[in-house]
Every structure is written in structure tokens, then in C-alpha cells.
Amino acid sequence: MGSTQTEKTIIGWAARDSSGVLSPYEYTLRNTGPEDVYIKVICCGVCHTDIHQVKNDLGMSHYPMVPGHEVVGEVVEVGSQVTKFKVGDIVGAGCIVGSCRNCNPCKSDNEQYCNRKIWSYNDVYTDKKPTQGGFAEAMVVDQKFVVHIPEGMVPEQAAPLLCAGVTVYSPLNHFGLTQSGLKGAILGLGGVGHMGVKIAKAMGHHVTVVSSSDKKREEALDHLGADNYLVSSDAEKMQENFDSFDYIIDTIPVFHPLEPYLSLLKLDGKLILMGVINTPLQFVTPMVMLGRKSITGSFIGSMKETEEMLEFCKEKNLTSTIEIVKMDYVNKALERLEKNDVRYRFVVDVAGSKLDGQ
């Protein structure tokens, strides 16, 4: 696998243009620096953000691009100053692989809000080379942005927790919404939404899934353990749930009106936005003013929260609901994900795939 003195040539699957089609791509990783961990990738989750990036939906994509930011792998090499990890450890890496370390967010364990954070892919690292993600044989990551996967947790189950899991855990933790007895709603039952149901239930909350149709009712209630299911187009049922919820986690990644959901919040209730949307959302101000309600957002979570979330999931025996695929299926997986045709997260078996495409 190389040494700390040599660059490593590896294969990943990259998009070359905004078609978003991935195919084998050979590139080099940087030398393993003093605080770096060289990780052989075992598996990587597929997130809706990967679609936005490979298709340049946000207008900021650079190619060739190897996506993937829910990475679980085995440590095969460590730098001379690495203290947290050793060869053989099973570890995870998420959306961020660098930050300035000096700003207020960084100093307060909120490095995900650093204005100089470095994304795990579609960015430029401190060595001026492009960052590439986890749809590849290996990654080199600074130890600060790597976490231990708890012993006994299956790598494929852990991968989606590194984005979908912590994305839900972080706002509940930050906004003081962890005590039992709260009443919450989850909008959208995809990768993030299904983890929202599981984590909120494990915290002792009464959880309602809100969806645009009835097709996921059985899944939400019988398989994920939600307490209630609400179809947003059912005006009578929506009215029955008026002024009901302490919080709403909105995971919908496409344009949608906010007013119907704001009306469901109690006094001081919070609508927490998590879906990445490239068009403006709209609401009328009295919907917020008359209940002292908050519309806020949250972005993944800190490294500290990621570690806490993994331990929480281990303690509560929480797992993500996944469909494991090989890399040669990844383009089909992206197509299906765009159509919301997955329960509820694809995970690519990278180590078990032939990455050269042969």
C-alpha cells in the first residue's frame, strides 16, 4: 500500500462532467503526513448530496470528481505524530477533512461551520491538490477528522451514520431537544429521515412522519417504529395536528412550501432545515411571529458530536436501513436515489468491488 515517503496511485470512480456518470479514474494520494491516517476504504454510503455535486446542481463542481463522504475503512498506515489511531483500527471519515483550527467555530468544536473548512471531495486541500472522496480504494485524512467505529458495529451499517446519523443527532443535541417526552415530526423518509425517526425514538420522543403520500405509512409505523403518520395533502389531518410539535426536522431536498408545516409547531417550536435546495423557500412572516417559532438550519455535526452519536447508536443498538451494492452498480444507485427508490441508504461495498471496471 506504499509508505509515508511515497505517493500512492489508486483507483476511484469519478464523474467527468455534469452528466454525473461515474467511471474508473486513476489518481495519486498525498504522502501520509505526520498527523495523517492512511485508510483502506471498506465501504462508503451514497448521499443525496453526492447527486447535487456530481451533476453540478449548485454550480460549484470541479471535475474529475470522486464523490463519497460516508467512508468506513481500515487504518493501514499512520503518521509519526498520530496519537488517536493505530494500524488495524476500523475508522470513519465524513464530509470534512480540514478546517482553519483558529476561528471561533473551530475553537468551540463546531468546525463544520468554519468558513475555511475543506470538503472531503470537490475541494482543494492545503497541498493545493483536489480532494477526492470515498468511492475509491483509499483516502489520506488528518487524524482530527477521523473517528473510531465502535467495536461490534458493522462497517456497512456505520457508514450512513457519518452523515445521515449525525445530521439528525447534532440539532437535537444543540437545541436541547434530547429529553424524553418531546413531540417531533420528520418531513421526508429518506436516508436522513429514517435515521431521524430512529434517533428521536431512542431519545424517548413521540415521532410523527410527515410525507406527501400514503405509500410509506406501513414502513414508518411498522418497521421504523414511528408513532404516527401524516399525509401533508390531507387537510383535515393536518388541522388535527395544528400546534402539536416541539420541533420538525425537514429533510426534503426539493422546493416545498413551509407554511403547512409551520402551522404544526407549538409556541417556540423549531423548524430545522436539512435538505440542500438550490431555489429559495418562502413563507409569510405571521406564521413565525404568532407562535414565536424559529426556522433554523443545521449542517452535519462536529467531530465530537459524530463520536457521541456513534456511541449513542451503539448503546441503543441503532442501525441504518441499507441496501449494499457493488461499485459497478453505483450509477444505477444514483439514478434510483434521485427517484427516492431506496430503503433508505445505498452503501457501496468498495473493498469487494473491482474498481478498474474490468
Question: Is residue 203 assigned to a domain?
Answer: yes
Contacts of 69 (CB under 8 A, 6+ apart): 44, 45, 47, 49, 50, 93, 94, 95, 119, 120, 121, 133, 134, 162, 163
Give the pLDDT band (50/70/90) at residue 59: very high
Same domain membership, residue 159 and residue 289? no
Give the pLDDT band (50/70/90) at residue 46: very high
Rg, the chain, Cα only: 20
Indicate the helix (H) or strand (E) that contains 266: strand 265-273
Residues 225-245 pLDDT 10s: 999 999 999 999 999 999 999
Same domain membership, residue 337 and residue 248? no
CATH of the domain at 239: 3.40.50.720
Domain that holds residue 89: 8-163+321-349
As a whole number of angstroms, the distance between CA 63 and CA 58 comes to: 14
Same domain membership, residue 103 and residue 29? yes
Same domain membership, residue 61 and residue 199? no
Residue 24 in contact with residue 357, Cβ under 8 Å? yes
Give the pLDDT band (50/70/90) at residue 6: low
Same domain membership, residue 23 and residue 169? no
The fraction of the chain above a pLDDT of 70, given in percent, is 98
Give the pLDDT band (50/70/90) at residue 5: low
Residues 102-155 pLDDT 10s: 999 999 999 999 999 999 999 999 999 999 999 999 999 999 999 999 999 999
Whether residue 1 is predicted with pLDDT greater than 50 in this model: the reply is no
Work out the average pLDDT over 329-336: 97
CATH of the domain at 141: 3.90.180.10
What's the mean pLDDT when you consider all of the chain?
Answer: 95
Instruction: Report how many domains make up the chain.
Output: 2
Question: Is residue 309 assigned to a domain?
Answer: no
Same domain membership, residue 151 and residue 35? yes
Contacts of 108 (CB under 8 A, 6+ apart): none
Question: Is residue 302 assigned to a domain?
Answer: no
Whether residue 4 is predicted with pLDDT greater than 60 in this model: the reply is no
What does the pLDDT read at residue 118? 98
Question: Is residue 264 assigned to a domain?
Answer: yes
Whether residue 357 is predicted with pLDDT greater than 80 in this model: the reply is no
Does the bond joining 64 to the residue before it have cis omega, within 30 degrees of 0? yes
Residues 70-105 pLDDT 10s: 999 999 999 999 999 999 999 999 999 999 999 999
As a whole number of angstroms, the distance between CA 270 and CA 268 comes to: 7
**Residue whose C-alpha cell is 413563507:** 283
Does the bond joining 344 to the residue before it have cis omega, within 30 degrees of 0? yes
Whether residue 3 is predicted with pLDDT greater than 80 in this model: the reply is no
**Residue whose C-alpha cell is 429518506:** 190
3-state secondary structure 317-344: CCCCCEEEECHHHHHHHHHHHHCCCCCC
Same domain membership, residue 195 and residue 138? no
Q: How far apart are the first and last CA of the chain?
A: 21
Residues 171-213 pLDDT 10s: 999 999 999 999 999 999 988 999 999 999 999 999 999 999 9
Residues 249-291 pLDDT 10s: 999 988 999 999 999 999 999 999 998 888 899 899 999 999 9
Same domain membership, residue 209 and residue 158? no
Question: Is residue 308 assigned to a domain?
Answer: no
Per-residue cell: 53: 455535486
Cα–Cα nearest to 120, from 92, 93, 146: 93
Same domain membership, residue 181 and residue 156? no
The fraction of the chain above a pLDDT of 90, given in percent, is 91
